[in-house]
Amino acid sequence: MEVGFLGLGIMGKAMSMNLLKNGFKVTVWNRTLSKCNELVAHGASIGKTPAEVINKCTITIAMLSDPAAALSVVLDKDGVLEQICGGKGYIDMSTVDPETSCKINEAITSKGGRFFEAPVSGSKQPAETGQLVILAAGDKALYEAAIPAFDILGKKSFFLGQVGNGAKMKLVVNMIMGSMMNAFSEGLTLADRSGLNPHDLLDVLDLGAIANPMFKGKGPAMLQNNYSPAFPLKHQQKDKRLALALGDENSVPMPVAAASNEAFKKARSMGLGDMDFSAVFETLKVLKHSS
């Protein structure tokens, strides 16, 4: 099977590599084209523009960093829209707000193309091991055609109905995840500052009702101030902002998510936006004031 792949960041690179390694023919594009080299070394072709990838492939997958990038790849000069047409399908796996996803859907379908969104749950490691959870919504026939690719990229895929629902589900999951990271960070800080061994806390947590892979995976690194980015903090904060906006539209008060969002904004203001989102831990440490 042949697919196009737009966007080779942390996630996109791992995903396209998995497709290559499992026998797919993949044509890749990235804004900084040099990032394509490693994939070419593993057998990928290059498209010089998004339009060129669409022209060459029946199905193209995109994995971009934010809503602006997701829109620009479709709408800008040499973008997806210039070549999409009846018989071609476009799958956006970026995490974007529901509104952006709907705009892309309208643009693609107005040219006769098929579209669904398919944001994922899971960051760097699940992307590398093909263990993502895929949240698809939109054109069901295209979804079914894409299942062989999803079988490689993920451990499970959901079809959630109309375009926008995948984006919403992803935002909800990331909102919960972010708030849990704050709760975890506050607990580690309180343990340490009140005379307990935070490593004991990790052990106790791992035996109880709230044991989860995130605490187990990130806890030891956080205690060493290691925030090597799996899911960059600025993206977590963006998702939290979008989830709060979704709550605002639907009159859902979410006081804990709101407090969490401010902590992530604080972390961004400290210059931690490109680190892993677990770096929100730093906002709780004792800091000297500036004046």
CB-wise, 85 or 210, nearer to a copy of itself?
A: 210
Candidates 18-26, 59-67, 143-151, 167-175: pick the segment binding a copy of itself (CB under 8 A): 167-175
In the region spanning residues 206 to 265, those forming contacts with a copy of itself, defined by CB under 8 A, are: 207-214, 217, 225, 241, 243, 246-263, 265
Catalytic residue (choose from 168, 170, 218, 240): 170
CB of 236 to a copy of itself, least distance (A): 12
In the region spanning residues 101 to 130, those forming contacts with a copy of itself, defined by CB under 8 A, are: 121-123, 126
Residue 37 binds to a copy of itself (criterion: CB under 8 A): no
Q: How many helices (H) and strands (E) does the chain have?
A: 12, 9
* 135 vs 208: CA distance, rounded Å: 29
CB of 164 to a copy of itself, least distance (A): 8
Candidates 12-20, 28-36, 78-86, 281-289: pick the segment binding a copy of itself (CB under 8 A): 281-289
In the region spanning residues 67 to 106, those forming contacts with a copy of itself, defined by CB under 8 A, are: none
Residue 274 binds to a copy of itself (criterion: CB under 8 A): no
Q: Is 170 a catalytic residue?
A: yes
The DSSP string of 8-61 is -SHHHHHHHHHHHHTT-EEEEE-SSGGGGHHHHHTT-EE-SSHHHHHHH-SEEE
**Cα-based torsion angle of the residue sequence 76, 81, 83, 88 in order, rounded to the nearest 10 degrees:** 140
Residue 244 CB: number of other CB atoms within 10 A? Answer: 18
Residue 147 binds to a copy of itself (criterion: CB under 8 A): no
Residue 187 CB: number of other CB atoms within 10 A? Answer: 17
